[in-house]
Structure 1
Amino acid sequence: MPRCCGASLVSAADGNGSPQSLGLQIQDGNPQNKTALAPGHSLMDWIRLGNSGVDLTGVGGVPQVVTLSELANHNKQTDAWIAIRGVVFNVTRYMDFHPGGVDELMRGVGKDATKLFDNVHSWVNYQSILQKCIVGRLSLQKAVDENSSNSSNVNMDWQQTSNSITLFYQGVRDYPGIYYRLQRLSDSKIIFRLTFEKHIIINEIELIADVEWPPIYKRDFETMQVDFTFTKKLKDIWKSQGNHTLSQESITNKRTYREYEIVSNTPLCNLVHFLVLRAKDFLEIIPVGRHIEVKMNIMGMEISRSYTPVPSCLHPEDMAPNYKPDCICLMIKRYPNGALSPSITKLQPGQTLIMSNGLGAFVTESFDRYPVIHMLAGGTGLTAMLGIIQRALGRRNVKLINLLNFNKDEDNMFYVSQLDKVSSEKKFKVTHILSQAGDKWEGRRGTVSDKLLKELIGECSPEGCIFTCGPKGFMLSAKKCIQTLGWKSHQMYDFDD
């Protein structure tokens, strides 16, 4: 049974840039083995150092997969790596900031220190304190090969406060695109389904007491850890997590369908609508770049189309109306003579729609080695890019996200202000390009061409990759121009619009 955080938690401080604003917590009372720190080495000083731009990872911010033997080589005070729950941190610069002193921290250096950490101070929010020190993931390949249990592909752990319980899941091999689905059977019984390439791990948990639904989930795009935090209905410190059973089943190609209720339907422009949908007692985290199938009965005929789910927002100020963590968001363009889109875009809150599970084979992690990401989006092809943008914004090794957003005219543009707001980020750049712009348009004009792409993307670079999505003619022209500029097939991925 995993060790829990059984201490009562209180806020460490208040104010902007404070430990409180970073979500840091300390134990209620006097921590054991606390050492007097030298001037200039307080928690606030550490936060300032992390925000100064100094590379605390020691690897240039490029996520690594670290073996146990490699971890063991970094076991000196001047070169100190430590692993906690499958994540490797470079704590070399943190040595003099550690409240327990250098010697205490050195006990865990060069090894997997999860048990040691939990035994000494499991209440500490190390993820926030060491967020700028992440080297990458700990590879447990050897241990996995020797362990044939159903849970060998994933680390599962938990911690709690008096208000909440958090369940952690992290693949221990280099499994890309792990797919999470949660189903609530009761207020205390939850089923987690983790889908890998060839099998599904099923973790059925019966908690000690009731929790609220839905949980808040957080994905770390560097370590691939996913956290699910449930609010307890009654404040209390549990003596244990509860009971859980593990099983495994093979992957099938069978599609499953659920009824989703429309939560909100917001027009983004004259033709494009933003829909927020929710299924009862169900949460599905669809991997970036995958799609779902939507079905409706239109005049006695079953009509279906595929759509790519999009993030609830790219900027916190633009959160989708009435969105909750168990919702799925879609952007759908209404075609006046379309078989399905006019009916979907007319749906009002409370009405329902049938949707499938996530489909497709795109694995975004296979492009993580590229620090420069170019994207060519034609019309609603933008929807396939939004998840990639959100993910890239959360990855430290990405230097540039370059979006070329092509549309016919101003009436066909959508999500423009949201993209422009995010473009204030130093590493995100968006260029809006219209082929039939009106006289008042002050932006770029044109279509996909060798000249335009050479200017805005450039010739082939080993640091870059290119994603394209749009109408068929757009895709063919884009691919031809990209190849003319010397880009290789392994650097390119074409989504179907």
Structure 2
Amino acid sequence: MLSPPTPTNARKGTTVAPKIETMQQGSATGNPRNKVALAPGHSLMDWIRLGNSGEDLTGVGGRLQDVTPEQLARHCRRDDAWLAIRGNVYNVTPYMNFHPGGVEELERGIGTDATKLFSQVHAWVNYDSILKKCLVGRYRPRTTDSIPATDGSSPSSSEVGLGAFLATKEEKEKHNANRNTPLQPPQKKLRYDWYEQEERGSVVLYCQTQEPSIKVTLGDDNQNLTIVVSEKDASQSLHFLLENTIVWPPRLIQIPNSSKVELQLKKVKPGHWKTLGLPIQKSDQEMGEPVSYSNYSKMKVSDIFSVNYNTKILALSYLEQSFSTTPVGHHVRVHNTFEGQEVERCYTPICKSMVDLPTEEDQAHLYLMIKEYKDGLLSSWLATRSIDDIIEVSSSEGSFQTSCFTNRKELYLFAAGTGFTPMVGVINWARRIIIGKCTKISLTFFNRTEKDILWRDELDRLAQKDSRFTVSHVLSEADESWTGLRGRMDGELLRSQLPSRNPQDDPKTFVFVCGPTAFTQLTGGLLSVMGYSNKDYHCFQG
């Protein structure tokens, strides 16, 4: 819903023309994608209190009912607003003034099945928890294919707890059963080899993709080893009672330009092992068979690092001897309950350093960059955590595949604000895994002021160490001392940072975009104008 971009001057030290509409701070979950400032008394906590007040927010006395498309269409006014999302109908009339995106944005979906619209804009939002007190009933279209399916980048209804609000007992039971069903096995079982030296042994995993998600767990006896490999919508496990004890944590190494992963195990007592150990069959599963595991784990805050005046990094570790990897472009969900209301938010894990190689201890932690927003319920809570506090974190989620850019020589990254975090994984992957293929990594980083730039020193260090990497900072509210680029994303600025694409030439360039929704949509449109197809760029959705 964007108007054509207004030309601006992005040259160094110059002032720009009027800015495009951008989403302001104050999201219910701490996300900076709001379009409007909420009125006093209309925060997420105020909405939670209203929902717990006993007032009927459904408008139908709380009696669940089936709603046809014709019935839904009749509730299309601001003072009588229903909409459907993934098979459920909600009366959003009382929520209008609480919506962080504004009343007009919410009005786009009323009276209709708004599933597709919702997935495009708010795929990460735990909507069923926020709107559960507004549930009217089930949406009953005339044909079974009328309800839009979610795309690969959006979480399904089961992933965000929709089962708690389904209309019938049978649907709830079916939903809960599906959640506990193991993932379907891939065509090939997980293969591995075992090698050893005097002081350490290595388990080499032959995966199907270049970047699986891997979880490693070691029992308290330091001998019972479990490896879970998740890729292509399936998880497989290996269990061993090792011949002898090992030191925690092991080291996980992604072999460059291959789909092999090496797990190095340091022996407590150096010496020769006759075998890796005794294979263990758990829960009637064969070695390499599919597994299922709890979506959320309790993690402890092990360390806290300051980034700038409103952002910090939390280093999290599992309560047991365990760690997991997060594939490029994937995220985890952080969960907490406020006054009986569940709130969750997606965060993209980062590494401890973009310059230094991770140590074994670094790999045993999950690093989350947390930016605190004034009206952000969850981000404010996370920002006040202390060492040893417990946080609930999900396993990694996402559908992005690195295969879309592994053969491209030049990568151009455009990030705004915390949209920088997915770029950390892309940069590390390009530098360390697809060795010899990527010759240029260009990051254009948009912020309001100098003090808002995240990890500026780290980016400068990386630019000094790796000649392939360059970073350009663009500030929308720079002071007079700023000599860098000024402005917001527009066609002129994009052309100054990115070469045009000739469809007749072999593609060598790939573009990544992440930031507020308006920024992402605008940049995607400008890329199309410059000749880039959807195979030439990827927009991470916040």
What per-residue deviation string (whole Å, max 9, x for no partner) do you get for residues 320-350 of structure 1?
A: 9x95321111111100111110110111111
Which of 240, 247, 250 is the matching residue for 1:215?
250
Structure 1 counterpart of 2:212, which letter? I
Deviation, 1:178, is: 2.1
Is the CA contact 1:221–1:391 (under 8 Å) kept in the aligned structure 2? no
Larger RCO: 1 or 2 (CA < 8 Å, sep 6+) = 2
Which of 332, 335, 340 is the matching residue for 2:373?
335
Which of 345, 348, 353 is the matching residue for 1:305?
345
Q: Secondary structure at the match of 1:455?
A: helix
Give yes or no for the alignment of 1:416 onto 2:452. no
Distance, in Å, in 2 between the alignment partners of 1:323 and 1:457 is: 38
Counterpart in the other structure of 1:94: none
Q: Secondary structure at the match of 2:540?
A: strand
Distance, in Å, in 2 between the alignment partners of 1:324 and 1:338 is: 29
Distance, in Å, in 2 between the alignment partners of 1:325 and 1:351 is: 20
Against the structure 1 CA distance between its residues 331 and 366, is the aligned structure 2 distance closer, same or farther, given a 3 Å change threshold? same
Equivalences for residues 449-464 of structure 1 within 5 A: 449-460=490-501, 462-464=507-509
Counterpart in the other structure of 2:234: 199
Q: Secondary structure at the match of 2:494?
A: helix
Counterpart in the other structure of 1:22: none
Distance, in Å, in 2 between the alignment partners of 1:324 and 1:377 is: 25
Deviation, 1:451, is: 1.0
Give yes or no for the alignment of 1:389 onto 2:389. no
Is the CA contact 1:266–1:274 (under 8 Å) kept in the aligned structure 2? yes
Distance, in Å, in 2 between the alignment partners of 1:247 and 1:191 is: 11
Deviation, 1:298, is: 2.8
What per-residue deviation string (whole Å, max 9, x for no partner) do you get for residues 196-243 of structure 1?
A: 314322111111111111111111231132111122111221122111
Structure 1 counterpart of 2:417, which letter? G
Structure 2 counterpart of 1:412, which letter? D
Against the structure 1 CA distance between its residues 459 and 151, is the aligned structure 2 distance closer, same or farther, given a 3 Å change threshold? closer
Which of 302, 323, 326 is the matching residue for 1:283?
323
Equivalences for residues 69-148 of structure 1 within 5 A: none
Distance, in Å, in 2 between the alignment partners of 1:409 and 1:306 is: 25
Which of 475, 478, 492 is the matching residue for 1:434?
475
Distance, in Å, in 2 between the alignment partners of 1:380 and 1:271 is: 12
Deviation, 1:251, is: 7.2
Distance, in Å, in 2 between the alignment partners of 1:315 and 1:382 is: 16
Against the structure 1 CA distance between its residues 255 and 236, is the aligned structure 2 distance closer, same or farther, given a 3 Å change threshold? closer
Give yes or no for the alignment of 1:354 onto 2:392. yes
Counterpart in the other structure of 2:11: none
What per-residue deviation string (whole Å, max 9, x for no partner) do you get for residues 354-384 of structure 1?
A: 0000001111123212111111101000001
Distance, in Å, in 2 between the alignment partners of 1:484 and 1:151 is: 41
Is the CA contact 2:307–2:454 (under 8 Å) kept in the aligned structure 1? yes
Against the structure 1 CA distance between its residues 213 and 151, is the aligned structure 2 distance closer, same or farther, given a 3 Å change threshold? farther
Counterpart in the other structure of 1:367: 405
Give yes or no for the alignment of 1:241 onto 2:276. yes
Counterpart in the other structure of 1:181: 215
Counterpart in the other structure of 1:296: 336
Distance, in Å, in 2 between the alignment partners of 1:455 and 1:289 is: 26
Structure 1 counterpart of 2:490, which letter? S
Is the CA contact 1:151–1:201 (under 8 Å) kept in the aligned structure 2? no
Distance, in Å, in 1 between the alignment partners of 2:256 and 2:312 is: 28
Is the CA contact 1:150–1:248 (under 8 Å) kept in the aligned structure 2? no
* 5+ long unaligned stretches in structure 1: 1-148
Root-mean-square deviation (CA, aligned residues, Å) is 2.2
Against the structure 1 CA distance between its residues 271 and 198, is the aligned structure 2 distance closer, same or farther, given a 3 Å change threshold? closer
Is the CA contact 2:210–2:260 (under 8 Å) kept in the aligned structure 1? no
Deviation, 1:477, is: 1.6
Counterpart in the other structure of 2:535: 490
Identity of aligned residues (%): 22
Q: Which moved more, 1:292-301 or 1:353-362?
A: 292-301
Distance, in Å, in 1 between the alignment partners of 2:367 and 2:262 is: 21
Distance, in Å, in 1 between the alignment partners of 2:518 and 2:426 is: 23
Distance, in Å, in 2 between the alignment partners of 1:243 and 1:326 is: 25
Give yes or no for the alignment of 1:446 onto 2:498. no
Against the structure 1 CA distance between its residues 150 and 467, is the aligned structure 2 distance closer, same or farther, given a 3 Å change threshold? closer
Question: What TM-score does the superposition give when structure 1 sets the normalisation length?
Answer: 0.66
Which of 221, 225, 230 is the matching residue for 2:265?
230
Distance, in Å, in 2 between the alignment partners of 1:459 and 1:443 is: 23
Is the CA contact 2:201–2:265 (under 8 Å) kept in the aligned structure 1? yes
Counterpart in the other structure of 1:63: none
Bigger strand fraction: 1
Structure 2 counterpart of 1:224, which letter? S
What per-residue deviation string (whole Å, max 9, x for no partner) do you get for residues 66-104 of structure 1?
A: xxxxxxxxxxxxxxxxxxxxxxxxxxxxxxxxxxxxxxx
Is the CA contact 1:266–1:273 (under 8 Å) kept in the aligned structure 2? yes
Distance, in Å, in 2 between the alignment partners of 1:249 and 1:241 is: 19
Is the CA contact 2:210–2:258 (under 8 Å) kept in the aligned structure 1? no
Give yes or no for the alignment of 1:267 onto 2:306. yes
Distance, in Å, in 1 between the alignment partners of 2:238 and 2:439 is: 38
Deviation, 1:195, is: 1.7
Deviation, 1:181, is: 1.3
Structure 2 counterpart of 1:478, which letter? T
Q: Secondary structure at the match of 2:377?
A: coil
Q: Secondary structure at the match of 2:404?
A: helix
Is the CA contact 2:249–2:361 (under 8 Å) kept in the aligned structure 1? no
Q: Secondary structure at the match of 1:421?
A: helix
Structure 2 counterpart of 1:476, which letter? Q
Deviation, 1:249, is: 4.5
Equivalences for residues 22-37 of structure 1 within 5 A: none
Q: Secondary structure at the match of 1:266?
A: strand
Distance, in Å, in 1 between the alignment partners of 2:404 and 2:317 is: 30
Structure 1 counterpart of 2:335, which letter? K
Structure 2 counterpart of 1:472, which letter? T
Counterpart in the other structure of 1:156: 192
Counterpart in the other structure of 1:474: 519
Distance, in Å, in 1 between the alignment partners of 2:233 and 2:353 is: 32
Structure 1 counterpart of 2:279, which letter? H
Counterpart in the other structure of 2:202: 166
Is the CA contact 1:265–1:345 (under 8 Å) kept in the aligned structure 2? no
Structure 1 counterpart of 2:467, which letter? K
Deviation, 1:190, is: 0.7
